[in-house]
């Protein structure tokens, strides 16, 4: 079940406002998110499967609005910094090396270079928050922690966020009517 499907089951009245056709670069993302925010004043959260997360936050700030919950993907340098600054609520992270290793083994089994090993297990996903950053991540000065933001992200998907798992896109949602 996808993130989007799970959220719809949780709250059927949820009205997503998706930002699509982004290349995930900050300049493009900023313009698209700013347009969506201007069009819909109820947008209060973001879920991004791609890049441009800093630009998404800048668009909220440009309009004097808070992004109450922001869930992102991949523990890259930008997202580590945003987590350390408590500007992201959580990052959904999976080990790309583990995924690549698994893909290579599946191909090798298909060619009978390795024995069958039973069903392939799904990738392990880690939910990383400002409170459980992995050791060795670069140090960035901390902003004051908003415990509601972190708790909301860690407990369950926010009430007003949705995914766009088919590319570098950000989706923001309205509060239920």
From 2-6, 71-75, 95-99, the region with the lowest mean pLDDT:
2-6
pLDDT digits (tens, 9 = 90+) for 32-76: 999 999 999 989 999 998 889 999 999 999 999 999 999 999 889
From 45-49, 134-138, 152-156, the region with the lowest mean pLDDT:
152-156
Query: What is the rounded distance in angstroms from the CA atom of residue 144 to the CA atom of residue 132?
Result: 16
**pLDDT given for residue 146 in this prediction:** 45
On the question of pLDDT at 148 being above 80, the answer is no
First to last CA, the chain: 25
- The domain defined by 3-93+127-170 folds into Rossmann fold (3.40.50)
**pLDDT given for residue 138 in this prediction:** 55
What band does 159 get if pLDDT is binned at 50, 70 and 90?
A: very low
Segments making up each domain of the chain, as ranges: 3-93+127-170
Calculate the alpha carbon distances from 102 to 1, 38, 96, 113, 155 in Å: 21, 44, 10, 14, 30
């Amino acid at each position: 079940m996808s993130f989007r499907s799970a959220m719809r089951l949780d709250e059927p009245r949820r009205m997503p406002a998706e930002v699509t056709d982004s290349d995930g670069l900050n300049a493009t993302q900023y313009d698209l998110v700013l347009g969506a925010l201007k069009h819909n004043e109820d947008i209060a959260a973001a879920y991004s499967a791609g890049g441009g997360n800093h630009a998404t936050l800048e668009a909220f700030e440009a309009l004097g609005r808070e992004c109450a919950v922001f869930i992102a993907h991949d523990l890259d340098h930008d997202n580590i910094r945003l987590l350390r600054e408590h500007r992201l609520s959580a990052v959904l992270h999976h080990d790309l090396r583990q995924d690549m290793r698994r893909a290579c083994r599946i191909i090798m089994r298909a060619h009978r270079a390795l024995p069958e090993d039973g069903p392939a297990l799904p990738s392990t996903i880690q939910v990383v928050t400002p409170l459980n950053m992995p050791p060795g991540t670069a140090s960035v000065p901390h902003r004051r922690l908003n415990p509601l933001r972190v708790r909301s992200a860690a407990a369950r998907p926010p009430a007003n966020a949705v995914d766009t798992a088919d590319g570098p896109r950000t989706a923001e949602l309205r509060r239920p009517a």
